[in-house]
Structures are given as C-alpha cells and as structure tokens.
Structure 1
Amino acid sequence: MAGAAFLTEVAIEPLSSIIHSSLFPCRFSISHSPFFGIPRKTKKQSGITTSSALSNGGGVIIEKKEFEFKPSFDDYLKAMENVKIDRDSNNHSSNSLRKKKHFKGKKEGEGSTKFTDFEDFRVEKEEDSDKMIVKEKLEKGVSYRKIASKKVTDNNIKQIRVTRNSENLDMERAAFMSLENEHNVIDMPRISRVDMEERLQKLARCLNAADINMPEWKFTKMMRSAQIRFSDHSIMRIIQILGKLGNWKRVLQVIEWIQSRERFKSHKIRFIYTAALDALGKARRPVEALNLFRQMLEHMASYPDIVAYHCIAVTLGQAGHMKELFDVVDIMRSPPKKKFKTMILEKWDPRLEPDVIIYNAVLNACVRRKKWEGAFWVLQELKHQGQQPLSTTYGLVMELMFACGKYNLVHDFFKKVQKSCIPNALTYKVVVNTLWKEGKADEAIMAVEDMERRGIVGTAGLYYDLARCLCSAGRCQEALKQIDKICKVASKPLVVTYTGLIQACLDSGDIQNGVYVFNYMQKFCSPNLITCNIMLKAFLDLGMFEEAKLLFLKLLENGNSVYQKSDYKDRILPDIYSFNTMLDACAAEKKWDDVEFVYTQMLQYGHHFNAKRHLRIILDARSAGKKKLLETTWKHLVEAERIPPPTLITEVFCSRLEEGDCNAALSSFLSSPWIGVHVFSKKSWTKILTENGHRFQKDTLVALMHEVSILVARSENVVLEQLMRSCKEFLKMQMQQTL
C-alpha cells in the first residue's frame, strides 16, 4: 500500500502552483510547512502516483513505492525495527529526512489500488534523544497512538532481534491467534473447492488417527497445521468426515474446541451442532447426542430447528429411548424455558409441530420396546392434525404388531393399508415374516409375487426372509433361487446370506439341507468362522462326531499354513468357541486322547485356561489317567502369573504325593503366597487326606511329616502346621483301623 510521504519545503515550492491550480480551484492559501498526508484517491500516471489530501489547505505529490509484507505479527515487528534503525542512521546526516513505510497494499483491477488496513507512520525527532514518538494515523484520520521507547543502538539491536525471534516462536502457538479475520489468512491466495476439500479430508484423517487423549494445545496445533481458514462450513465438513469415519469422540472434541475459542464468531453454530448430532446418531451414541441437544437449548443462536429435531429423534428412536423421545416432542411444541434477548426478532417463535419423521422415530422406539400403546398415540396424533400416514408409518405399525405377536392384526391392518395407499417393501416384509411364523410358505411366495406385480422393488431383507422361510419349510432348492434377487439389491457379503440360510435349516432340525447349503456355498464364496462354528455345533448336536472332527482339523490346518500377518485374511482359524465346543464333545464321548490334543492346541493358539469351562474336564481326564493335562495347566498358570483355583492346587498336591515326591507336593502350595489360611485349614487338610488316602503310601505320609517339621522349624507357617497335625491324626486313625 502506498503511504504518505513528507517532503521538504524545497520540494514543495516548485509544485505549489500545480497543486493550487489543479486541486484547489477555490484559491485557498497553501501552507509550506510539512504535514501528515493521508491518501484518498490515487491515479497512476507514468510511474508517478498523484494523491490529493486536505490538511489545512495543503497538498503534496507522493511517489509510489510498494513493499509486500505478509500480514503477520513477525513482519510487523520487522517493519518497526527498520523504522528505528533508519532513524538512528539518519540522525547524523540530516534532521529533515523522513521515512515512509507501506503496509498491506492489494491491487484490484487495472491502474487502481485498494487500500485495506492502511497505516501511516511518521517519526519525529524530539529534543530528548533517548525517546521517540511514533504517530499512527488511520485512514479516517481521527486517532493517534504514541509509543515511547528507548534509543536503539547497534549493540542492543542484535539483542532485540534474538528476543523477538524467541517471541515469534511463542506467537506461533495457536492460543495467541484468532480464528476469524486474522492477518495471516486475509492475504492468503484463494484456493479452489477441490483443494479445500483435500485439505479438510487430510485434516480429518489426521485427527482420526491421532491419540484421543492428546492435550488441547497439541490438538490446536494440529488444527492450525492444515492452513485452513476455519469457518462454519469447514468445521461442519470436518465433523461430517469424522462422523463417516465413526470417530464420535473426536467429533465431541471438535465441538469443545470451538466452544473454547472466544474469538471464533460463528453465524451458523446451529448447523455445526446439527452436523455433530447427525454424526453421533450414525455412531449410535444416544446419550452423547442428548447431552449435545440440551446444550443447544441454552442459546438462541443454537436453538434447534426441524433438522436438529429429526437427528435427535431418529437417534433416540433407534436406541429405543421412549421417555427421552417424548420429552423432545414436548420441547419441540413448547416455548423455550430460558428467556432470550430477541432484540429485533420480537416475533421469534421456535415452536414446531412434529412431522412424519418424528412420528416414525417414535414408532421405531415402540418397536424396540414392544410398546403397543405408542402406535395408538402416533395414529391419534396424525388423525388430530389431519395428516394421512405414509406407507412407511403403516409399515412400522405393522412391525410393532408383529413384534408383539399380534399376527391377526397384521393381516387386518395390511388390508386397510391396501385400500388407503400403496404398500411399500417394509409392509410386505412384515407380512412375509408373519406368514413364516405361521408356517405358510406358499402364502409368503404369493405375497412377494403380488408385490412384484405392483412394481414395488423389494429389499434385500425381504428376499432374505423369504429364503429363510423356505429353508424352514424344507424347500431348500427354492430358497437358493432367491439368492440372485438378493445379490441385486444386497449390500452385505454373500457369506452372511448363506450363513443365515444354514441357521434356518438347522433351527428347523433339517441338518441334511444345512449341510447341502454349506457345501453349495463353497462354489461361490468361502465360509467364514461363524459359518464353520455353526456347522461344528450342528454336527455335534446330531451325533456326527467324525464330521465335526474333520471340520475342526481343517481349521487347524489353516493355522499351520500362516506365516505372516497377511495370511490371516485368507485363512480361517479356530477361536475359543471352536475349542470349547470340541472339548465338550470329546469329554462327552470320553475320548481323552482327543481331549488332550484339543486342549494342548488351545493353549498353543494363545487361548487361556478357564476354570468354569476347563477345570472339570481336566479333573475327569486326570481320573482317566491323563496326568499330562494337569501338569500342562499348572505350568501355563505359573508362567502367566495367574492364581490357580484351590481345587487345582489340591489335585496337583495329591498327584505329586501319589508319585512319592514330597518336595514337589509341598512346592505346589509353598510357591503360592496368595493361599490363605482359611482355604487350607486343619479341617480342609483332614478332608483331603481322607478322600484321597487310598492313593498315598504310609511311608510317603511319614516322609511328608518329616519334611514339614523341618520347614516349620526354620520358619513359622500356619498352613504347614495344620498339614502336619492332619497327617498325625490321619496316620493315627489308620493304625487304629489296622488294629
């Protein structure tokens, strides 16, 4: 921007006639004293800019010199430094020399210059050489500001630069920078929408991948690094992208960050909150969405509109929160509880009436809760408002009837729907499910054919339910024909559809058709782990142990061929459910060799011992002569630093004592400092010796007493003392029985 210049009397003298004749036709007198010129209109001619000004009837001609500075605090400091340095260097040569500075010049059009944030500085030397006064005159020419500072010398100039460099680093912190109308974004080149979208996408991905517990200053720094001018639209877009990524926690963090920015002036804060409500709804977070909705009620600028009500209603309806949903409807119809200063909006009335989306959300919540009275309330409200329910509303009412087991009402209501409007795919889906529950497969097929004749496009769920209905009726071949229709409209993987058909066959007790579908699906897609577990359980329930064993061994073979992480995507490995299913089956069949093999494989695959599921199997295997399982489990628990159950400790003690190894038997509980006195009391030891006395030799018990007495003499141990007393009583009892 071209600034004002100060000329000497010699320079003004020859130009006074030109200025007098061209700029001042009224022939006012012109003062020859220098003044502070304020540029108002400029005209560029042959490299010289002519500027007119009025200041006590004077005028000057100013030469245009443009310097481009980045609008940042750092450049401002540098400009002020140059003023001071030039002042000191010119004090020795001439007192009449004046400096001019140009700030923030922006060209628009041809031959014209638009001035924004114009600032003109004049430096005047006063009698006191240790101080200077910098007068700043704005474009409107009203206010001045005086700044006092010490004289700058060559030595302290370097010190000032070092200090200001450190200060500039601090100024990079976002806490000292405003969001709106910042100098660092005003003169930035405009970017296209495509580039802006790329930056927003990149920023959202970075926020999604970052630690959710990062401090606020680090979060602010990450937001600033995107070089985006944060506006309502950009904030909304970031929230929408994070919502698609499912990171609802980061969405709330963005909202909190906006609320903490006091200098962020949003004109569409309601839209930002609404975008956050939509993101929380897609993430199925009703509690967080309701809390955000209540925050919107606290301010007039963020008070909910119909779109916000739709978002919160759908979210609460999907979660089945009926009470909170009815509260939202009451808020929607009532005036604000908090009194706002409406200013010029004296007739501002945020009250709204529920529409079809709100009523459908209420019906959705009623379906989840199986509240029959909610459907009557919705129908009565629609009738009271004179509105005709849509086919979607009728479908939700029918779904509620089906959930409550009102099958007769479903058929009656469907006939009324056909008379009033064209049924949609949802209503036909409810009819198919009702006929399926009633065991009427032929009527279900006829209902779908009627739908197709009407030109209604069926959903994947409709054809999926029809296929399961046919599988339950034993008509597996007809059910597989529905796969082609499902593939045309389905968005889920094909393996999910086949798994559902297999489960429908098994639920009806038709294992043969289930096996047929399982073999048939492998022509088109590979079964997943859920499919294999379903078939494994089906084989075992029907007594087909060998078939189940072959399927399980196939899963183990997949695990043996895994060499890197990418192999896990292509191969199915057994999970803990698979191992538990096979262990239960092997134990029921008393195939202890298979039990030992499956249990060992389970530990190798990284699964852990579960006392509720595995302890009884291990004890039964020990009774059958499989001692290795007991020792394997003990070693596994010791390595994992887990507390063994008391029953397992007792069994290990008895097994080692049965083998005649007293030291190993004592180490089984001496190495466990967590064993309490109440667990192994004198009564408990007596019971253990009595129940397992037939397993011990008399010499072994005597040797045990000797080892215990030595240990007790070294250090007091209540558990060992109680064990020694129980051994004495047990041996005394055996001697009496012998006599």
Structure 2
Amino acid sequence: MLSAHFASVSAFPSHSWQGAAGLRGIRGCCRAVWSRPTKKARCHSRFRGSSAWNSMFCKTAGPPSTLECNKAASSCAKSRRWQLSLYLFQNMESRSVARDVVSFNTAISAAIQGGNWRLAAQIFASISECAVVPDTISYNTTLSAFQVEMHWDVALQFLGGMQEQVVLPSVTGLNTTMSIAERSRRWQLAIVVFTSIAAARKSPDVISYNTVVNACARRGHWKAAMHLHEMMLTEMIQPDVISFNTTMRACNMGREWQAALNLLSTLPRFRLTPTTITYNTALCAYDVGQQWQRAIGLFDYMTRMSIALADSCNAAMSAGKTASAWASAVQLLADMPSKAIQPDRISFNTAISACEQGSDWLMALALLL
C-alpha cells in the first residue's frame, strides 16, 4: 500500500487544492476566468443564437434541465471552448439547475484545458458539498490535472485521500500518477505506485510497465528495467514498440549495449515494427560498444528506408568519433544535405569532437567557421 510512503511526503503548501476547496472558491475562480469583458462578449457572440443556447435560456418553459446543460458544456469543452464550459457550469447553480457527476467531470476537464490545475482540484473537492458521488472519471480526470505542472506530491496526496475514502484507484489513475512521478524524476515513487497496483486488486497494463521502465531508464537502472520487461512477458502482457524502446534505452544507460541489441532482435517475435526511435536507440548502443562500422551500416539502411533524422545521423557520427574512424564521422556530416537531412548544432559539435580525436584541428576550425 502507499500509506507508508504518504507519511513521508511533506505537508501541502498553503495553495493546495484541499485548502482552497469549497463552492465559494470555485465561484470566484470561475468569475475570474470570465471577468474580461472583451472575452465575455466574444464568447457570448459565438454561443448566443446556437441551438444549445436557445434550448437552455430562450425557452419559456422554465429553466433548462441538467441534461441540456451537460450536453452544452460538453460540446463547448470538446470544441476547446473551455471558458464557455466553465461559464455554463457556474450558471447552473445560479439558475437552480441541479448538477450531477457529469457536470462536475466536464467542468474539471474544462479547467484542465485552460491549464488551471488548482481550479480543477477545487471543483473536484466541491463535489461532496453538492451531495454528488464522484466516479472513476472524476478521479482519473483530476489526477491528470496534476500533470500540468508535474505536481507529484499533490498527486500522491490525492491517491492517499482516495484510500482514506476506501476508494480503489483505477489502473488509469495509477498510470497517471506514475507518469507524473517519472517525469518529475522521482523514479522510486514510480516504482512504489507500480507495486500498489496489485494492492489495489488491479492488474498492470502495458502502459503501467512502460512508465515504470522509463522511470528506471532515466536513472540508468538497467537491471530493474530488464526485470520489469521480463515480468511483463511472464504475465502474458503484449508489449508494444515503446516497451522495447524504453528497455533498450535503459540498457544503453547502463552501458549494456549487447543486451539492448538483443532486445532489438526479438521484435519480430512479437510482430512489432521498429520505429525511427528504435533504430536511433540501437545506434546509441553501437556508440556505447564502439561499433562504428555497424552504426554506419544501420544509418545507411535507415537512409534507404527514408526514416533517418538528424538524431539518427548524430548517433552514427558519435559512434564514429574515434581515432580510427573520425574521418567517417566528418563524412557523415558532409553527406547530410544530399540525404535531405538538415544538420543541427549537435551534428557540428559531434563532428568537431571527431576531428579532435583525429588531431585535425584545421578541419575542426573550418567546421566552426
């Protein structure tokens, strides 16, 4: 369970979603979003006259129904008009229209579209004040809000609150939390969340494994990445090409280049087609193993298949920046325009480094100029 780890997480700052919860705070936030007169007028002009507006506010048979408001707010959110969606959500209360869980879920999504994760969390926190029971979509959508600014600590406390309410998080919600931890370079937390999936009586999916393997790869923990990869296969979970890309990258980080290439050779067994990222990772493996001839051969193959990018050439050049192959690395740079590949700063820096290995300072100076 995550409860043991939650105890070690520092207390929430004063601007946390729990401290700002309440309908009063939501009203203020919604009014702030809607406070600019020009934006309000522009949005009114776009929405007024539409069938949704007419059915809700221009009919004479009383206030609109909850279903009508939900449909209109959802339509606005899907068309990226999140301000209108929040405006409708706010006005449902002022017009005495009951709000259900769909109303709140739509408003949370709209707040996320607007990049306001605090408002999204406030809307979620107010659900219970309206005697509405949140569903799985409510939890998952609110968790995704914390990805806006990578608030891994808030996401963990949110999961802890779910456990206190005896609510089992879904695999999607746990995957989102792992992604936040991984992108925040908190690989240990990603592993803790991954192990909690079984405690929540859930089965991890391929996204779960890919996320936790990527967390290990960021820190070069190739043994853990390989163990997780093998565990996924043992559990009969079909890997995708991302599974292999991330595990290969972890092996490269641990300088286990042969293990990375062995993973590449197993792709046909799973009927997976290597992507440019897969081949680039293999090029990095050749670089780690100082296999410059094989790297150039793979890059030539990628060029013939029209899947080579500047990163591909840079990786091949890096493999060739040795005392014996530095001229090949410089030649790769010279050939990039003929292959319709635009060199970047890394391309020139790698070629200059190759010239340094070959003690050709005149060529290095020419590349600088």
Structure 1 unpaired stretches of 5+:
1-252, 281-287, 336-350, 559-571, 599-613, 618-739
Task: State the partner residue of 1:591.
Answer: 362
Instruction: Pick from 363, 371, 379 the counterpart of residue 151 of structure 2.
Output: 371
**1:478 is matched with which residue?**
262
Structure 1 residue 550: deviation in Å?
1.7
Q: Residue 381 of structure 1 aligns to a residue in which SS? A: helix
Residue type of the alignment partner of 1:293? S
> What aligned pairs does 1:82-481 form with structure 2 within 5 A after superposition?
256-260=45-49, 265-266=54-55, 268=68, 270-280=70-80, 289=82, 291-300=83-92, 306-307=101-102, 309-311=104-106, 313-314=108-109, 321-330=116-125, 332-334=127-129, 352-367=132-147, 369-403=149-183, 405-421=185-201, 422-437=203-218, 439-472=220-253, 473-475=256-258, 476-481=260-265
Q: Which residue of 2 aligns with 1:495?
A: 276
Q: Report the AA paired with residue 283 of structure 2.
A: I
Distance 1:438 1:262 in 2: 54
Q: Is the 8 A contact 1:273 1:296 kept in 2?
A: yes
CA distance in 1, matches of 2:141, 2:122: 13
Structure (1 or 2) with the larger CA radius of gyration: 1
Letter paired with 2:298: Y
Question: Counterparts of 1:593 and 1:496 in 2: how far apart (Å)?
Answer: 29
In the TM superposition, what is the alpha-carbon distance from 1:547 to its structure 2 partner?
A: 1.8
Supply the RMSD in Å over aligned alpha carbons. Answer: 4.4
Task: Give 1:403 deviation, angstroms.
Answer: 4.5
Tell me: CA distance 1:470–1:378, structure 2 relative to 1, closer, same or farther (3 Å): same
Deviation track 1:118-168 (CA, whole Å, cap 9, x = no partner) reads xxxxxxxxxxxxxxxxxxxxxxxxxxxxxxxxxxxxxxxxxxxxxxxxxxx
For 1:373 and 1:464, the matched residues in 2 are separated by 28
SS at match of 2:48: helix
Contact 1:464-1:482 at 8 Å conserved across structures: no
Is the 8 Å Cα contact of residues 310 and 358 (structure 1) preserved in structure 2? yes
Asked if the contact 2:155–2:177 (Cα under 8 Å) also holds between the matched residues in 1, the reply is: yes
The Cα offsets for residues 91-113 of structure 1, whole Å up to 9 and x where unpaired, read as xxxxxxxxxxxxxxxxxxxxxxx
Contact 1:470 1:479 (C-alpha < 8 Å) held by counterparts = no
Q: 1:469/1:384 Cα in 2 relative to 1: closer, same or farther (>3 Å)? A: closer
Matches for 1:703-722 after TM superposition, within 5 Å: none
Task: Provide the rounded CA distance (Å) in 1 between the counterparts of 2:242 and 2:279.
Answer: 13
1:548 aligns with 2:340: no
Q: Calculate the TM-score normalised by the size of structure 2.
A: 0.62
Higher mean C-alpha deviation, range 315-324 or range 447-456: 315-324
Change (3 A) 1:357 1:449: same
**Corresponding residue number in structure 2 for 1:516:** 294
Matched position secondary structure for 1:395: helix
Query: Given the superposition, is the C-alpha separation of residues 482 and 273 from structure 1 closer, same or farther in structure 2, using an over 3 Å criterion?
Result: farther
**C-alpha deviation, 1:316, in angstroms:** 5.5
Structure with larger RCO (C-alpha < 8 A, sep 6+): 2
Post-superposition Cα deviations, 1:662-700, rounded to whole Å, max 9, x if no partner, equal xxxxxxxxxxxxxxxxxxxxxxxxxxxxxxxxxxxxxxx
Secondary structure of 1:547's counterpart equals helix
Q: Distance in 1 between matches of 2:45 and 2:292?
A: 53
Over 3 Å counting, the alpha-carbon distance change for 1:264 and 1:395 in structure 2 is closer
What's the CA shift for 1:495?
A: 1.8
Give the structure 1 partner of residue 342 of structure 2.
574
Give, in angstroms, the shift of residue 262 of structure 1. Answer: 9.4
Distance 1:411 1:261 in 2: 49
Aligned-pair CA distance for 1:478? 0.9
Answer yes or no: is the 8 Å Cα contact 2:216–2:222 preserved in 1. yes
Does the Cα contact within 8 Å between 1:463 and 1:485 map onto a contact in 2?
A: no
Kept in 1, the 8 Å contact 2:321–2:329? The answer is no
SS in 2 for 1:591: helix
Amino acid at match of 1:275: S
Structure 1 residue 259 displacement after superposition: 1.8
For the structure 1 residues 304 and 370, does the alpha-carbon distance in structure 2 shift closer, same or farther, using more than 3 Å as the test?
Answer: same
Structure 2's unaligned 5+ residue stretches are: 1-41, 57-67
CA–CA separation in structure 2 for the residues paired with 1:408 and 1:584: 38
Q: What secondary structure sits across from 2:306 in the alignment?
A: coil
**Aligned counterparts of 1:545 and 1:366: Cα–Cα separation in 2:** 47
Greater per-residue helix proportion = 2
Question: 1:531 — aligned with what?
Answer: 311
Identical-residue share of aligned pairs (%): 14
Contact 2:329–2:354 under 8 Å retained in 1: no
Give the whole-Å Cα distance in 1 for the aligned partners of 2:227 and 2:355.
Answer: 49
Partners of 1:332 and 1:352 within 8 A in 2: yes
Q: Which residue of 2 aligns with 1:49?
A: none
TM-score (norm 1): 0.34
